[in-house]
Structure 1
Amino acid sequence: MRPIRSAIPALLASAILATSLTGCQFGAPDEASGEIVIGADLELSGAAPQVGNAYQRALQLKVEQLNESGALGDRKVRLEVRDNKFDQSISATNIGDFTANPAISGIIMGSCNVCAIGATKTVRSKQVPTIALAPAGAVASGQDREYMFRLGPNARDNVAAIAAELRSRKVKSVGLLRTADEYGQEGEGLLRTELVGPEEDETDIPIVASRAVKHTDTDVSQAVAAIVAEEPDAVIVWAPADQANLAIGSLKKERFKGHVFFDAVAAGDLFIGNSGSAAENTTMVFTQTMVIDDVIATTPAKAASKQWFRDYTARFGGYYGYSSFAADALQLIVDAALRAGDKDGTPDRGRIRALLETAETDGLSGPIRMTPENHSGLMPQALTLLVARGGRWRLAG
């Protein structure tokens, strides 16, 4: 495909600089030249190809923008992409190959939770900084996660936003459809804690029905019917976009008239597609990037997000919500690699890791703040409520 030419180089360079690391305390980057090589282990086929292919498109577009901007001096970014087919064993082979390559500055992993969690030991022992785009908090939490980072909405922040809106609407009970994996378990645990306090009171919102579906399931109708049978005031769908859309269709068939909420992992295409009018007024927690065309660009970061939205849409004919996280992950690794420089002719991975651990940026996705205690640095204020109107997502309110 033809490279994006929608912005003059000076504008593009300023947009890139607006979303790069603020860490001026790191000092000037070491002298280095040549390629910055980044490995990408993505789900391009198998159970979740839509998300994986959206990540690949975003990474390729971001690489082109960086290389054409002139912001990298004499250096260029090169991406090496492998398909893990949503299979942990294939992912492990890919990660093994990437970590054995001394030219690799860092790795970006896709949406597979078990793949990212399973890679922790390898990237730690080989000391290769890795940013996973998988949703489970366990990906980047724990004592053995020095080289593993995560970028995307955090389950606790999603739950807080949903709970606040449920209470504002005076919802009395909810049903939950979730994935049968680490992220689904995490979500249900957090929801039960947030919605029902230690002592029974009028603010409690019990989960009257909960059903789990496998990430490979292409029919969720029985699970939805079981939830609707318990007559909850609202249904929370804690599942990826394809299954969330299936749930919307099933809720319509069950003639459910209550509130419907999507967790952030349900974000997919800007235009809702097959769900059509059935999704109308559904509420989703996500970042403003999904609807940045509705937002006035009052800061350089928002202007950069609007430009990214336009470039991605112009290239691929539509917008996919999670694309910005892939672009931000690549930007984080490139910025750290530029500052770290080389060590004995190869990337200084230890210093790249240290720089990532204190990274601060107003990224395309929103404010990102990594710390030694928190390797999953998307800030809560990056999230907002979106609502389905007229077949697409819009800012709520």
Structure 2
Amino acid sequence: MKKIALIGLAAASIIALAACGSAPGTSKGGSEKGNAIGKTFKIGLNMELSGAYAAPGNAEKNAIQLAADEINADGGINGKKIQLVVKDNKTDNGEVATVASNLTNNDKVAAIIGPMSSGGTLAATPNVTKAQVPLITPTGTNDSLTVKNDKVQPYIFRTIFPDAFQGKVIANYTEETLKAKKVLVYYDNSSDYARGILGTFKDNYKGEIVDTLSFQGGDKDFQAALTKVKNKSFDAIVLNGYYAEGGLLTKQAREMGLSQPIVGGDGISDPTYTELAGSAATDVYYVAGFSTKAPFNDKTTAFIKAYKAAYNEEPSAFAACAYDAVYMIKQAAEDGKVKNSAELAKALAKVKGLVGVTGTIDIDKNHNPVKSAVMVKLEDGKEASAEIVK
């Protein structure tokens, strides 16, 4: 999810700035209210439905449709049925900006869900901000999306926790559950994602870091560095990076006799990690936002059942986070009795106690969800168990 979230981030900022001139300003008459909510409650989808990210994008669309159907069957939002306006951004950040402009200016939506990626969200931000229409990214995780230059982006929200939050989860789990008093840290120095996790890990881990090793994206041989620390005393390996390098690193570490638990972020959650590591992916733990093996509540269980019935497959974390985005809009709109998109944005910033399928969500001052995470355990290259961690 992280690799998907971050690809194209830098290029997106240039594209987005170029496109922002086409965005709507305020509603007619110059009033600072964004788009009025009409006879239906219009929610736009700016989603990756074709192109490189089509698989997770369509999973999110499916979950959003499922949530909208449920809400409509129950009377809608403030008595108004949800009308989904679905547009494909083609996994192209230039198209993302155009779709954001069309949804806000032409379709007059009250809210937008998507893009699913951080790069796409960055590309959409200028247009939705100018239009005063809130955007919820289900799975865009880059820390700078909701806060830029120490300023909160007033119209950007998310239902997935940001990258840096994972460092806290890893620190707490490593120290409290695994009882690791000494750790070896191995991280991808070329990745903002890995560096962000490392920073908050160091801030929160109270044990000893015996050594910190780094690698670069694309590296394949980790034996020399591992040999240097092989005889040091440590209780766990904290691995911050993505699945391609992580899988090879894990395999080589196990072949060298390093049997300590390995703990990482969701950058190693991709199936490629276990394909590369094979059975060496044993006693490995990674952070996730959702797992069907660890339902948060009765609503999670019902969601898993309904999604499987509708789409003949188990829901992913992408789907679960997108589903919660719809209910986040519903709670904000009803609690705030909102009449337009600008009021909805203010109400979204006040969401507390939302019982979602990814846990109970409180939106913090930076527009990020405060909620529990899932720690998945791998044995012999397969998901053996999952547990909810605060």
Classify the TM-score, shorter chain. Answer: 0.7 to 0.9
**AA partner of residue 186 (structure 1):** G
User: In the alignment, what sits opposite 1:228?
Assistant: 226
Contact persistence 1:177–1:235 (CA under 8 A): no
- Distance across 2 between alignment mates of 1:69 and 1:272: 42
User: In the alignment, what sits opposite 1:187?
Assistant: 197
- Distance across 1 between alignment mates of 2:115 and 2:37: 31
Q: CA offsets per residue over residues 194-242 of structure 1, 9 Å max, x none?
A: 44x8xxxxx32155212242xxxxx6534x5565355375444445xxx
- Distance across 1 between alignment mates of 2:190 and 2:306: 33
- Distance across 2 between alignment mates of 1:227 and 1:83: 42
How far off is 1:389 after superposition?
A: 4.2
1:386 to 376, 382, 385: 376
User: In the alignment, what sits opposite 2:131?
Assistant: 126
- Distance across 2 between alignment mates of 1:44 and 1:124: 25
User: In the alignment, what sits opposite 2:327?
Assistant: 331
Contact persistence 1:268–1:320 (CA under 8 A): no
* SS across alignment from 2:110: strand
Q: Using a 3 Å threshold, how does the CA distance of structure 1 residues 207 and 57 change in structure 2: closer, same or farther? A: farther
Contact persistence 2:288–2:376 (CA under 8 A): yes
- Distance across 2 between alignment mates of 1:220 and 1:101: 47
- Distance across 1 between alignment mates of 2:46 and 2:151: 24
**AA partner of residue 343 (structure 2):** R
How far off is 1:147 after superposition?
A: 0.8
* SS across alignment from 2:113: strand
Contact persistence 1:41–1:82 (CA under 8 A): yes
Q: CA offsets per residue over residues 62-111 of structure 1, 9 Å max, x none?
A: 233333444554513314132342x4333222222223235211112244
* SS across alignment from 2:168: helix
**AA partner of residue 375 (structure 1):** H
Query: Any stretches of 5+ residues in structure 2 without a counterpart?
Result: 1-35
* SS across alignment from 1:39: strand
How far off is 1:134 after superposition?
A: 0.8
How far off is 1:313 after superposition?
A: 3.2
Q: Using a 3 Å threshold, how does the CA distance of structure 1 residues 337 and 164 change in structure 2: closer, same or farther? A: closer
2:260 to 240, 258, 261: 258
Q: CA offsets per residue over residues 139-179 of structure 1, 9 Å max, x none?
A: 11242501111221233432122123333223332212476
Q: How many residues align?
A: 335
User: In the alignment, what sits opposite 1:355?
Assistant: 347
- Distance across 2 between alignment mates of 1:313 and 1:272: 25
1:376 to 344, 368, 376: 368
1:90 to 95, 98, 103: 95
Query: Any stretches of 5+ residues in structure 1 without a counterpart?
Result: 1-29, 198-202, 214-218, 296-300
Contact persistence 2:162–2:368 (CA under 8 A): yes
User: In the alignment, what sits opposite 1:322?
Assistant: 318
Q: Using a 3 Å threshold, how does the CA distance of structure 1 residues 356 and 277 change in structure 2: closer, same or farther? A: same
Contact persistence 2:181–2:208 (CA under 8 A): no
Contact persistence 1:192–1:207 (CA under 8 A): no
Contact persistence 1:153–1:264 (CA under 8 A): no
* SS across alignment from 1:120: helix
**Stretch of structure 1 that moved more, 123-132 or 334-343:** 334-343
User: In the alignment, what sits opposite 1:10?
Assistant: none
Is 2:187 the counterpart of 1:176? yes
How far off is 1:251 after superposition?
A: 2.1
Q: Using a 3 Å threshold, how does the CA distance of structure 1 residues 294 and 285 change in structure 2: closer, same or farther? A: closer
Q: CA offsets per residue over residues 269-317 of structure 1, 9 Å max, x none?
A: 7x97776533332112234x414x555xxxxx71111111222234242
User: In the alignment, what sits opposite 1:146?
Assistant: 154
Q: Using a 3 Å threshold, how does the CA distance of structure 1 residues 126 and 363 change in structure 2: closer, same or farther? A: same
- Distance across 2 between alignment mates of 1:392 and 1:310: 20
- Distance across 1 between alignment mates of 2:141 and 2:335: 28
User: In the alignment, what sits opposite 2:66?
Assistant: 61
Contact persistence 1:177–1:236 (CA under 8 A): no
TM-score (normalizing by structure 1): 0.71
**AA partner of residue 244 (structure 1):** Y
Q: CA offsets per residue over residues 297-343 of structure 1, 9 Å max, x none?
A: xxxx7111111122223424233123211111122224444566785
**AA partner of residue 386 (structure 1):** V
* SS across alignment from 2:214: strand
User: In the alignment, what sits opposite 1:36?
Assistant: 42
- Distance across 2 between alignment mates of 1:226 and 1:57: 46
Alpha-carbon RMSD across the aligned residues, in angstroms, is 3.4
2:212 to 170, 191, 208: 208
The share of aligned pairs that are identical, in percent, is: 17
